Every structure is written in structure tokens, then in C-alpha cells.
Structure 1
Amino acid sequence: MAIKVHGSRVSTATMRVTAALTEKGLQFELAPVNMAEGHHKQQPFLSLNPFGQVPAFEDGDLVLFESRAINKYISEAYAGVGVPLLSKDPKAMATELVWMEVEAHKYDPIAAKLTFELCIKPFLKLTTDDAVVEEQEGALGKVLDVYEARLEKSPFLGGASFSLADLNHLPTLGYLMGTRAKAVFDSRPRVSAWCETILARPAWQAVFGLKSQAA
């Protein structure tokens, strides 16, 4: 049975999963979920993700939700195809996993708030809260100071090679690079170079280029 991703092309979490699948060169079906009409909060979607959030993921009889867990499954189950997204070496993988945790718990809560204020609100014709943006930009800067020091030691967060530690950042990075928040990244030379490198990956360009075809 084919891999199926239930979600929206504009959803950062959906893009996180489709980016991993695209890096792996895997064929998949993107089943649109109309979030504007609340279909993610209704059956049959709730049978796939009881929390009513996209994406949901099917690979044969396996059903998963939570984008980062899905990506780890993709990386392990399809380790032999496409771009390696997790190291086979336990110590190298441990470092990658640390930075995956950093993305999920240190970076993403801030980046998600900035994405909402600077990208989602304007799209919905809502007023951006400049005070929130300023506060979150300050918080982001502190996290990126740690990234700058890390990237002095290796070209990617997890080490010498691109991995999920980098890929999981791409959806919010893709949005924020078109906003005033780009300056927070650009003011740190190694972070700026890292952003440029990972955002230029063909798989990501293909995924982000489809967001205009939102369901």
C-alpha cells in the first residue's frame, strides 16, 4: 500500500513530513485536509489523529501522527534509500537526536509564534502584535547564539552531514525568511550560512514551492 500523508501544504508540520519523504525519494499521496472548514477536528480524520492536528500518516497498516515521530520512522524504515537522515553510528545519532530535541523544545515554540504573527495573521487579515514579535525575536536570538557556537564546530547541527536535526527546522525557516525575522538569522554568520544551505536543498524547494496549492 502507498504512503499517504493527510494534511495541508501550508502546514509546517505537514511540510516537515513531506520534506523527509522527498529527501528519501519516496512516492506518497498527499490527502488534503480542509482545515478552514475544520475537517481536522471531525471524523474520519479524528480516527487517524485523535488530537485533531495535521498531519496524519499511513504506511500500509501503520498509522502515525506527530511529525517528528513520523520523520524518525521514515528515516529508520527507509534507511537504505535516498538521503540518510539519521546516522547509523550510535554516538553520531545521539548527537543528532539531541539537536532534534533542541529544535522541538527550544527553537520551534519561538519560531511557531513568530510564524503565526508574521505570516499567518497577515494571511488571515489580522493585526500582527509587534510587542509579541519583538519579544519572540529576542528569545530567538538567544537560541540562535547557541546555534552559532554549535555551527562553529560542524557544518550541520547534528555533525558533518545533513540530518533530521536540520530538516525539522525547514518549515518555519521557509516562512520566516520572508519576514523581518530574517535579520535575526542573518546577524549570525554561521547560522545564516546554514540556513542558506539547507533552504537550497532541492527536496525542500520542491515541497515549499507547492504551498500555494493549499487545500
Structure 2
Amino acid sequence: MATGEQCRVYLKSKAIECLAKYDIPSDATVEYDLTMIRVERAKDTKPQTDEDKLAESEILKERGDALLKGGHYEVAIKKYKKIYEYLISAIFNHDGDRDRCKYLKIASQSNLALCYMKMGNYDDAKRVCNRALDFDNQNEKCIYRRGQCHLAMRFYDRAIQDFETVLKINPSNVAAKQQIDICQQEIKAHEVKEKELYKTIFQKAAQTNTTKKTK
């Protein structure tokens, strides 16, 4: 909201518990008219040390995961991008911190990919899957999601390769097997459509030649 802008807000359930003293029923809906009087910029609280960045990234992941679960993909994307920004150049001396850093970089990119996929942006989803795989080229979840991107983009052969790689990592991944079946069905359906298309083209060409000969 900008300064002077107005909006109307409707609150219900737990959001109005503080109004119990006014004898407002718990299942009621309370209506507020709000006016933005002043806007102040928050102070820059960007973490300075790598340890602070790691701690902040933990918090950002929790918030991003909650936003992703709630379907707020665009806001979640900002959280996951910030994690990568914080940790891409961070250096840690302890193995535990290094492992946690690696986990957060991979998890943030994997969930970022899922956000993009939910929004139908498969190009960016595939790109961040590849970025995560730079840190761990055997990450089952990221390879699977890249396969889903390839399937959505109709790159069926690439999708099958990804899902087969997933099965090499985890032979019991039932979802990957199902996705391979879907890819093969799509390939067969595409081949049938192509045959019908070429058949129609050849028939029209033959009819045209017959007409010309008759004339």
C-alpha cells in the first residue's frame, strides 16, 4: 500500500480472539477500513558473517516451506532465492556447517524448482534443478523434478533418461516408473498423430495429382 491508500480487511476465527471483550461471536467476521498514513523503510538487516547467513537461511527455508505449502509461490520464491544468495560464497570451517550449507543450497533450489513448476514455468524450474545438481549430481528429488519439467515440455526422451537415473539411485521409486510409462504413452500417441498427419498429406497430394491428370 502507498501513503494515503485505503483498503478493507475482513478478519474471522482466531484473528478476532482479542475482540472477545466486545462480545463478538468467535464465528463472526469483523470488517476493518484501513488507511496507510506513513511508510517507513525497514533497516537493512542483511547478515554480515557466514555464520549469520547460515542461521538466517535456516529461518528463510522454514518461511519458504510454509509459503510453498500454502500456495504462495511468488513470495516463497523470494525466500529461496535469498538463501542461495547468502550461501553461494559462504565458507565454513566445521564439517557440520559445511554439510548444513550444502543441504540448504540444494533444498532451496529444489523447492524453488517446485514453485516454478506450480506456476507452469518449466524453463526456470529446469534451470534451478540443474543448479542444485551441481552440488549433488545424484540428488534423487532434483533429477525427478527435472524429469517432470522435460515431460511437461514434451522432451520425452530426456524425461525418460532422468526417470531411469532416478530408478538407478532408488529402484523402489514407484513414481519414476509411472512417469516413464506416461512418457512412453505420450511418445506412442505422438507417433500415431504423425502417421495420421502424413497420411492426410499424401492423400491430398494424390488427389491433387489425379485432378491435374484428369484436366
Relative contact order: is structure 1 or structure 2 higher (C-alpha 8 Å, sep ≥ 6)? 1
* TM-score of the pair, normalised by structure 2: 0.29
Could you say which structure has the higher helix fraction?
Answer: 2
Larger radius of gyration: 2
TM-score, structure 1 as length reference: 0.29
